């Protein structure tokens, strides 16, 4: 579950945003044809992870795979900051925005920087699971 959450947050969220917004980024000289750049960033990150498996759980690495695009596409950086820092999730029976939790930010910290001993103890399992998938 941790690896799935890491993959979703680090790869799926930015790729979905790029795929869904490429047609709106013509003023940045970015379009669907440029998605290959994003794919290359992911591919190169996976090569680095293969050489150093601990990168898969290193927040400073995994959450910055798309860093090279932030100057060219500041909208992507803005979305990333919103999604991981400000976005509020729906909480059962919460009707006003102030009562909603920042669940995405909480999940990110729980999977990449767990304080709970049991969660931290899964680091080695995450590393070995990654190798088994490759």
The 10 Å Cβ neighbour count of residue 69 is 20
**pLDDT one-digit tens code per residue, 97-133:** 655 556 666 677 777 777 777 777 776 777 776 555 5
**Predicted structure pTM score:** 0.78
More confident site: 2 or 62? 62
Which residues contact residue 50 at a Cβ distance below 8 angstroms, ignoring those fewer than 6 apart?
134
Residue with tokens 């930015």: 14
Q: How far is CA 30 from CA 25, 38, 69, 93, in A?
A: 5, 11, 10, 41
Dig out the tokens for 119 from the structure: 């969660």
Q: What is the pLDDT of residues 23-67, one digit of tens each?
A: 999 999 998 899 999 999 999 999 999 999 889 889 899 999 999
The predicted pLDDT at position 6 comes to 87
Cα separation, 53 vs 56, in Å, equals: 6
The per-residue pLDDT for 1 is 80
């Amino acid at each position: 579950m941790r690896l799935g959450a890491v993959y979703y947050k680090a790869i799926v969220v930015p790729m979905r945003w790029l795929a869904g917004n490429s047609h709106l980024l013509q003023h940045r000289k970015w379009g669907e044809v440029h998605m290959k750049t994003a794919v290359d960033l992911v591919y190169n990150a996976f090569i680095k992870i293969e050489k150093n498996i601990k990168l898969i759980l290193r927040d400073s690495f995994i959450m910055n795979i798309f860093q090279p695009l932030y100057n060219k596409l500041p909208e992507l950086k803005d979305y990333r900051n919103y999604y991981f820092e400000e976005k509020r999730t729906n909480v059962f029976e919460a009707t006003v925005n102030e009562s909603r939790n920042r669940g995405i930010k909480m999940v990110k910290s729980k999977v990449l920087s767990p304080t709970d001993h049991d969660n931290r103890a899964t680091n080695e399992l995450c590393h070995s699971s990654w190798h088994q998938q490759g």
